[in-house]
Amino acid sequence: MRTRPLKVALLGCGVVGSEVARIMTTHADDLTQRIGAPVELAGVAVRRPSKVREGIDPSLITTDATALLKRGDIDIAIEVIGGIEPARTLITTAFEHGISVVSANKALLAQDGAALHAAAEQHGRDLYYEAAVAGAIPLVRPMRESLAGDKINRVMGIVNGTTNFILDKMDSTGAGYQEALDEATALGYAEADPTADVEGYDAAAKAAILAGIAFHTRVRLDDVYREGMTEVSAADFASAKRMGCTIKLLAILERAADGESVTARVHPAMIPLSHPLASVREAYNAVFVEAEAAGRLMFYGPGAGGAPTASAVLGDLVAVARNKLAEATGPGESAYTQLPVSPMGDVVTRYHISLDVADKPGVLAQVATTFAEHGVSIDTVRQQGKDGEASLVVVTHRAADAALSGTVEALRKLDTVRGVASIMRVEGE
């Protein structure tokens, strides 16, 4: 057992950072036994030094994160600042000064993960980021290490707790979007500005990270198709229930059948109630992984919050500390396949389309002909009409997104179609 402590710099001390510091203190003896050496919080970099931080020695607080990293005795840095800068510069500085890094920064890793991995490799240091995706759920390391000998073909999951809470409330209580969002905000699940969550930006960043790991290729945030959930309505849930489905905001990552490309997308989708993801309630996350040899695996648990995220950070801290003692490093970036990311237009799936149409003879035939002309096969049709107006719900067989888009554009030009009420993909069959 080594007696000289490994010194840790904590960059950021908000909700997650304060929990990391607390656990490091309260579980110090256990961490020492698990690592084989004590770990010591040697400095905490913050923006507002005057804020009271219970349980943290005020002498550790500094506003100069760069000086903390350069002082010469830091072994590991934990970055929980978030955002692009100054986090990117600080992580790079850490590597340059022989410091391994544990990060929870999904936005930065999705945008500049390749450059950060390259910097870590150049300086022979670790970059671990379990906490960047799905909070406390062990997901990154199982995919990066436990499934390293397998071939992952598909990953589909709920990776944002805020949106799942909102959609779950809409489904279970019949609430509208705004009502459910207000409840999520009141309970602390949604930020004052929920855009990153409800428009899918947060999930898209996580999708980029997971796609890179799953398919051993570089996938950036800009490669991920993103569609938010603000237009999902009570009527959509009613339609989903008639089909034996519910609605979730999903991150879906797929390897093409020929193995020559991948797709990455985030959008609302109907999924059958029989699918394991349909039963994920409240603010929980769950990810469904399909691998060639292992088959179907599901990872489930709390996807956000200070304590769950801190749990993932501390797990990485233990792994990195053990590597430090062994004078080794863990797995770095694996991007040997260099597969292209196909555009959304090439994605093939089923669709649920709700149309407002004139209630008169021949409308259904006209609509069906339009679908056929664009090569989109219809599975089921349901029509309801009254007083000259009607709704027509069409569920297709599997079709390419580009073909469906062309169909919808043509439908809008029909004089019998008053409007397209909603379009939603159907997944998870």
> Which residues are catalytically annotated?
206
Query: Helices (H), strands (E): how many in the chain?
Result: 14, 17
Q: Which residues contact 393 (CB under 8 A, 6 or more apart)?
A: 239, 352, 353, 354, 355, 381, 382, 383
Question: Residue 83 is inside which H or E element, if any?
Answer: none
Respond yes or no on whether the N-terminal peptide bond of residue 5 is cis (omega within 30° of 0).
no
Beta strands 127-128; 284-291: pairing state = unpaired
Closest CA to 208 of 137, 262, 246, 169: 262
In whole angstroms, how far apart are CA 242 and each of 9, 355, 393? 54, 16, 11
* Secondary-structure percent of the chain, ordered helix, strand, coil, rounded to 5: 40, 25, 35
Closest CA to 210 of 276, 150, 152, 257: 152
Nearest 10 degrees: CA dihedral of 416, 418, 421, 426? Answer: 20
What are 206's two structure tokens? 């996580």
Rounded CA-CA distance 234/245 in Å is 13
First to last CA, the chain: 52
Q: Counting every residue, how long is the chain?
A: 429
Rounded CA-CA distance 69/90 in Å is 8
One-letter identity of residue 15: V
**30 burial level (CB within 10 Å; 0-12, 13-18, 19+):** exposed
Q: Which residues contact 306 (CB under 8 A, 6 or more apart)?
A: 15, 16, 18, 19
